[in-house]
Amino acid sequence: MSARVCVGAIAGAFGVRGEVRLKSFCADPEAIADYGPLATEDGARSFDITLDRPVKNGFAARLSGVTSKDAAEALKGTRLYVPRDRLPAPEDDEYYHADLINLDVVDTGGTPIGRVKSVLNHGAADLLEIALKGRSDTVLLPFTQAAVPTVDLGAGRIVADPPDGLLPDD
């Protein structure tokens, strides 16, 4: 099975006829309906999606096989995935978060820093959560050109120039 990317999540039931409130994680939120059936994280279920209308924080949507409010509510919190190869290629210097997870991170001198654990965004900009090499803690590295001058997906690594004071002293 190819790598999968989370493109959305079900936020709960919407109405009484089986619609769900669907939150899209796509750059173009409506594109979530274009990627074919969306599958649950474990792959046990898949759904064809029909977007009915925009609602606060997402869309009112219909999922194939979901016909009641109870069935829709039971899916609350379910994350929806598509195979990576169904998504369009990112523009130059753009990356899917899923492509960055688990990349090794080295400093500009080649010294290992750690590995990307997750990519976070709390509204202002993306942050790379780096699990530090040989330690149990993590640091948050701004995902900017200044702090991350090189992303080499082919080599499986990121070259970082962290701001002074970000990394703990060894």
pLDDT in tens, 23-64: 998 888 999 999 989 999 999 999 999 999 999 989 999 999
Q: Mean pLDDT, to the nearest integer, of 122-138?
A: 89
* Strands ordered across the beta sheet of 46-47: 46-47, 38-40, 79-83, 4-13, 20-24, 58-63, 49-55
Q: Give the domain extent around 45.
A: 4-86
| pLDDT over 90 (residue 96) | no
27 with 63, same domain?
Answer: yes
Query: Taking all residues of the chain, what is their mean pLDDT, rounded to a whole number?
Result: 91
CB 106 within 8 A of CB 112: yes
> What's the pTM?
0.73
**Burial bucket for residue 128 (CB in 10 Å: 0-12, 13-18, 19+):** buried
How many domains does the chain contain in total? 2
10 and 77 housed in the same domain: yes
> Considering the domain boundaries, does residue 91 fall inside one?
no
Is residue 166 in some structural domain?
Answer: no
CATH number of the domain that 24 lies in?
A: 2.40.30.60
125 and 62 share a domain? no
Q: With a cut of 90, say whether residue 13 has pLDDT above it.
A: yes
The proportion of the chain whose per-residue pLDDT surpasses 90, expressed as a percent, equals 69
